[in-house]
Structure 1
Amino acid sequence: MNTKQYFSMALKSIVMATSITAASVSFASTLTVSSPQDPGSWDPIDTFLINWASVSTNIYDGLTYRGPDLKLEPGLATSWQQLDNGTRIRFNLRQGVTFHNGEKFDASAVKFTFDRLMGDEGKKGPQRSNYAAIESVEVIDSHTVDFHLKAADPVLLTKLAGYGAMIVPPKYIQEKGEDFFNTHPVGTGPFKFVSYEPKVDIKLEAYDKHWGGAPKLSNLNYRFISEPSTAVAELQSGRVDLVIPPTIPIGMISTIEKSPELDVVTTVSPSVYALRFNTKNGITKDERVRKAMIYGVDRQAIIDSILGGQASAISSFQSPISFGNDPDMSPLPYDPAKAMQLLKAAGIKPGTKVQIDIRGNDSTFNEVTQAIASYLQIIGLNATIKPYETSVLINDIVPAGKTGEMFQQGWGGWTLDYDNTAYFMYHTGEKWNPYDSDPELDKLLESQRSLTDSKQREEILKSIANYTADRALEMPLYNLNAIFAVSKKVKGFVPVPDSRMRLNNVTIE
């Protein structure tokens, strides 16, 4: 070999090595996301939390899928037909799909998933009633299933795109057990589980065999950072690439926007916020007191002064993009004189104490609540604010009926259908309704679930919104935009209204 040939081969080796190294770096791309809450379990039937869905939309697939444009499309089912006046739905299943553990996806996995959801295990979580229309799942063949319904459910196809309807692996759960599955999730989604350290992080890696193609990222890490200032500091330092709702306080937006390496991206959201009332105990048992407290708070002033244009007023506990929202409804106006008149009529003495329970890590809502407490002080109520760790408030305090007179409630309304909010907030015996029982309201809620006439359903849902407003079951506050803070190194990120982000097409420089 002469000198020229030697240097030529050496140069080729260097080029090849450089190419391999560059490809490896590209493949080794890791996106780190800051999430404000650890759901505590990764089992689809255990939670309704938005921050569960933000992670698990990447781990699991449903029979249907709803993307950032909010349109329903095929997931693990390639097509479906509604039969027998909507009381039977036939799903044709995608072939060649495997779970992350190598287990085959087929009709038996679908049946197992819904038998489990509607059985004893499902009773332990909040998801079961959302799918109450399902009577049974029948396996027709290995890639065809029929859902037999007790009555038509016009929202069911959307519900199958999220939360409790995510398809799980039968053999894995049977072999490993429920407790192990809670902390070692396995699905068919674009990313598979690597590790989970409670209240610290969950780490995922690309599942190259995903039916939709391999993700562009190789790793996807979620860090649980409840303190907004810490999350923003980590974003500024580059140790976090994306901060998801509801972390970013309105007051921090301008700080983030000043950084040339960061962006703030917002989009309309189904998320609404309210202070709900204890209608069973204390002074808020009286409807006059509840209405007085609503009249006594200038909610529009709070939106204008604290939320910086990132929210809009609501008259019922749903967003403007929710099916069932009544645009003709108006929030009760700010009228402190009317408020004091109602309190006097109810026999409430000036200085009477009321307690407001909130999530301690939600700095924006904390500021909102401080303003509300000040307004209540003006009408003669001494409001104290009691912060809780989020998981404690939503898992231990609210469902057990251990709150004060008012308590924070945020709701994603991810189906964009008021039924998904109203049924769980107001129907007797539901987890998020620890105090109230109203037979007339129960009948209204139940009556619309079996209707296939969308116009008729919409009218009933509007009547439910007006009925609950008349009874003053909560103080409706605002519909807040979904606010994301993202590094400019992140490419292909699309903000989604419901925060159910599938990040398989995202890249990072």
Structure 2
Amino acid sequence: MRLSRRALGAAAVSSALATQAVAQSQSERSLTIATGGSITAIDPHFFNATPNSALAVHIFEALVQRTPDVKFVPGLATSWRVIEPTLWEFKLRENVKWHDGRPFTAEDVAFTYARAPDVPNSPGGFGGYLRSIKRVEIVDPLTVRLHTHAPNPILSTDLASIFIVAKHAAEGATTEDYNSGKAAIGTGPYKLVSYQPNNRTELVRNDDYWGEREPWARVSYRFIASPAARSAALLSGDVDMIDQVASSDLARFRREPRTSVHETVGLRCVYLMADFSRDGNLPFVTDNNGQPLPQNPFKDVRVRQALTSIINRQNIAERVMEGQATATNQWLPPGVFSHTPDVAVPVPNVEHSRRLLAEAGYPNGFKLVLHTPNDRFPNDSRIAQAVAQFWTRIGVQTQVEAVPWANFSARSNRQDYAMRLNSWGSVTGEASFMISNVMMTYDREKRTGASNAGRFSSAELDQLTNAAASNVDNAARERGLQDLVRWVAREVPVMPLIQLNHTWATRRGLTYTARMDERTVAMNVRPA
């Protein structure tokens, strides 16, 4: 049968309209993500915690971007070079606009690097990334030079964690101004619509973004603390993707035809840290009769050695984590720069640990409360319970108190706890990052120890870290950092336990590029 020209024309118009409707439908697609990490602020400099940064990267950008496999590529800077050992030059990207249409310039970079280390009431800030910078020199609107106190061979890597904010929006702004949206003006692929703490954040696509156009017109970023509730939300179709998949649900999601699992080895280490800020009368620590101890037991290295060596890390990795973690006594996995093969996982020995306690003056042990978050990373409170059982076997009678992350982080950084379970992601891929932030002496001016909640302090550790981190010879720097890993294993300022694997699950029809830095971001979600 032959069609008339009019019929052919009508068919063509109909086909074009259908194609246009499909394209419009695709351009208006939305994405709903459920995360298990509590986001405490939109302010990208308020708290150096992965949930905060994972959300911030939708709105804000850094000079250097971090890829899912932890490589570092141009972001708001297109190139950088070392002019002298203590002088770096960064060329900024042209024609980048803030969400309100104003141009991005070097003034914004200089303002950001002055603001980021000193945000009021921060429970753990970003000063560690910027501690080597002495001053920022603006050469022209699209060129900045960074003068450092000493050589810093990984300066560009450090800067990947500092989100640039708009000077015109951020001057005089508080963290609450970001949370309300007033100051949340970024250059990123999404704009902030609304933020509800401990509930959800709504984002809309930035159609004027300088980079690749995102397929999602809207992103709803929800906080669901319970792993079981996150899994149920995905299976019911309420959300499109979840992170921190419960180890008990992984097998089911792999079998389930409606879902896909995406996973990778991570850089996050779960560790324990005692309080070193007091000499005596430590809160949550008593003798066996409930009376305060005259001295802080954790200042004796023999006590720390007794506590770390009795923990059966393999048991935690295999049973508590159901194989979704690796036992460790350091904070970087094999194959990563400065991993130290001869620092082995301790073999638990009850008699050895009891003998160390007796030598330190605690033959009958003591009582202790171990504090832990219950919604920060998979099985966090269950890990703490396992640790408590191991310590109780050697006479350190341990109770566990689990609290939500937002409360835990604030109290921990006020030194409210005698012993805490926490975690750290070494997103720079070398050992100095955790040392400088978590173990070096807390010093606001030197920008060290920003996340040293236990206030451990050692002049020897500080000196060794500064020397190793400033060595521009990669092989020599790695040897120096490996010596520091051995020092930490011997002196026990922290007790590394396990290295986490990271998992996400999506509804069928979506793919997610799993990230070693564990960030959950819409920009890595694509239609299959």
Same fold (TM over 0.5): yes
Q: Residues 351 and 426 of structure 1: is their aligned pair in 2 closer, same or farther, counting only changes over 3 Å?
A: closer
Q: Residues 275 and 120 of structure 1: is their aligned pair in 2 closer, same or farther, counting only changes over 3 Å?
A: closer
Instruction: State yes or no: 1:258 paired with 2:278.
Output: no
**For the residues of structure 2 that align with 1:250 and 1:349, how far apart are their CA atoms?**
38
| Secondary structure in structure 2 of the residue aligned to 1:357 | strand
Task: Name the structure 2 match of 1:186.
Answer: 185
Q: Residues 347 and 453 of structure 1: is their aligned pair in 2 closer, same or farther, counting only changes over 3 Å?
A: same
Residue 337 (structure 1) aligned to one of 306, 330, 351: 351
Task: Name the structure 1 match of 2:289.
Answer: none
**For the residues of structure 1 that align with 2:250 and 2:53, how far apart are their CA atoms?**
24
Task: Name the structure 1 match of 2:149.
Answer: 150
| Secondary structure in structure 2 of the residue aligned to 1:268 | strand
Instruction: State yes or no: 1:309 paired with 2:323.
Output: yes
Task: Name the structure 2 match of 1:379.
Answer: 394
| Secondary structure in structure 2 of the residue aligned to 1:99 | coil
Task: Name the structure 2 match of 1:126.
Answer: 125
Task: Name the structure 1 match of 2:138.
Answer: 139
**For the residues of structure 2 that align with 1:283 and 1:103, how far apart are their CA atoms?**
56
Q: Aligned residues: percent identity?
A: 27
Q: 1:495 Cα deviation (Å)?
A: 0.5
CA contact (8 A) 1:31 1:508 kept: no
Q: 1:55 Cα deviation (Å)?
A: 1.7
Task: Name the structure 1 match of 2:464.
Answer: 444
1:365 partner letter: D
Instruction: State yes or no: 1:249 paired with 2:246.
Output: yes
Give 1:25-424 correspondences, 5 Å limit. Answer: 25-85=25-85, 87-117=86-116, 126-162=125-161, 165-174=162-171, 179-184=176-181, 185-244=184-243, 247-279=244-276, 280=278, 281=282, 282-350=296-364, 352-361=366-375, 362=377, 364-395=379-410, 397-404=411-418, 406-424=419-437
**For the residues of structure 2 that align with 1:500 and 1:452, how far apart are their CA atoms?**
29
CA contact (8 A) 1:53 1:499 kept: no
2:107 partner letter: S
Task: Name the structure 1 match of 2:522.
Answer: 503
Q: Per-residue displacement from partner, 1:26-56 (whole Å, max 9, x unpaired)?
A: 1111111111233222222211111122222
**For the residues of structure 1 that align with 2:172 and 2:438, how far apart are their CA atoms?**
36
Q: 1:4 Cα deviation (Å)?
A: 6.6
1:389 partner letter: P
Name stretches of at least 5 consecutive residues in structure 2 with no aligned partner. 283-295, 443-448
Residue 463 (structure 1) aligned to one of 458, 475, 483: 483
Q: Per-residue displacement from partner, 1:444-464 (whole Å, max 9, x unpaired)?
A: 122223221222222221122
Q: Per-residue displacement from partner, 1:75-119 (whole Å, max 9, x unpaired)?
A: 11111111112x111111111110111110122222222232356
Q: 1:133 Cα deviation (Å)?
A: 1.2
User: Normalising to structure 2: TM-score of the pair?
Assistant: 0.88
Name stretches of at least 5 consecutive residues in structure 1 with no aligned partner. none
CA contact (8 A) 1:202 1:221 kept: yes
Q: Residues 113 and 294 of structure 1: is their aligned pair in 2 closer, same or farther, counting only changes over 3 Å?
A: closer
Q: Residues 110 and 121 of structure 1: is their aligned pair in 2 closer, same or farther, counting only changes over 3 Å?
A: farther
* Structure 1 range deviating more: 165-174 or 235-244: 165-174
| Secondary structure in structure 1 of the residue aligned to 2:90 | strand
| Secondary structure in structure 1 of the residue aligned to 2:388 | helix
Q: Residues 120 and 203 of structure 1: is their aligned pair in 2 closer, same or farther, counting only changes over 3 Å?
A: closer
| Secondary structure in structure 2 of the residue aligned to 1:504 | helix
Q: Per-residue displacement from partner, 1:285-336 (whole Å, max 9, x unpaired)?
A: 3322222222322211222222233221212233335432211111221111
Would you say how many aligned residue pairs link Structure 1 and Structure 2?
A: 499
**For the residues of structure 2 that align with 1:502 and 1:304, how far apart are their CA atoms?**
29
| Secondary structure in structure 2 of the residue aligned to 1:269 | strand
Q: 1:349 Cα deviation (Å)?
A: 4.8
Q: CA RMSD in A?
A: 2.4
CA contact (8 A) 1:295 1:339 kept: yes
Q: 1:408 Cα deviation (Å)?
A: 0.7
1:409 partner letter: N
**For the residues of structure 2 that align with 1:338 and 1:331, how far apart are their CA atoms?**
15
CA contact (8 A) 1:359 1:393 kept: yes
Q: Residues 284 and 223 of structure 1: is their aligned pair in 2 closer, same or farther, counting only changes over 3 Å?
A: same
**For the residues of structure 2 that align with 1:269 and 1:57, how far apart are their CA atoms?**
19
Instruction: State yes or no: 1:454 paired with 2:451.
Output: no
**For the residues of structure 1 that align with 2:479 and 2:378, how far apart are their CA atoms?**
37
Q: 1:237 Cα deviation (Å)?
A: 0.8
1:159 partner letter: D
* Structure 1 range deviating more: 22-31 or 441-450: 441-450
**For the residues of structure 2 that align with 1:121 and 1:197, how far apart are their CA atoms?**
21
Q: Residues 56 and 102 of structure 1: is their aligned pair in 2 closer, same or farther, counting only changes over 3 Å?
A: same
**For the residues of structure 2 that align with 1:77 and 1:351, how far apart are their CA atoms?**
55
Q: Residues 350 and 177 of structure 1: is their aligned pair in 2 closer, same or farther, counting only changes over 3 Å?
A: closer
Q: 1:6 Cα deviation (Å)?
A: 6.9
Q: 1:494 Cα deviation (Å)?
A: 0.7
2:485 partner letter: A
Q: 1:440 Cα deviation (Å)?
A: 1.3
Q: Residues 209 and 289 of structure 1: is their aligned pair in 2 closer, same or farther, counting only changes over 3 Å?
A: same
Instruction: State yes or no: 1:476 paired with 2:489.
Output: no
CA contact (8 A) 2:372 2:401 kept: yes
Q: 1:7 Cα deviation (Å)?
A: 5.9
* Structure 1 range deviating more: 178-187 or 151-160: 178-187
2:514 partner letter: P
| Secondary structure in structure 1 of the residue aligned to 2:25 | helix
**For the residues of structure 1 that align with 2:235 and 2:31, how far apart are their CA atoms?**
15
**For the residues of structure 2 that align with 1:311 and 1:353, how far apart are their CA atoms?**
29
**For the residues of structure 2 that align with 1:52 and 1:421, how far apart are their CA atoms?**
18
* Structure 1 range deviating more: 282-291 or 139-148: 282-291
Q: Residues 28 and 10 of structure 1: is their aligned pair in 2 closer, same or farther, counting only changes over 3 Å?
A: same
Q: 1:269 Cα deviation (Å)?
A: 0.7
| Secondary structure in structure 2 of the residue aligned to 1:460 | helix
Q: Residues 117 and 366 of structure 1: is their aligned pair in 2 closer, same or farther, counting only changes over 3 Å?
A: closer
**For the residues of structure 2 that align with 1:271 and 1:128, how far apart are their CA atoms?**
20
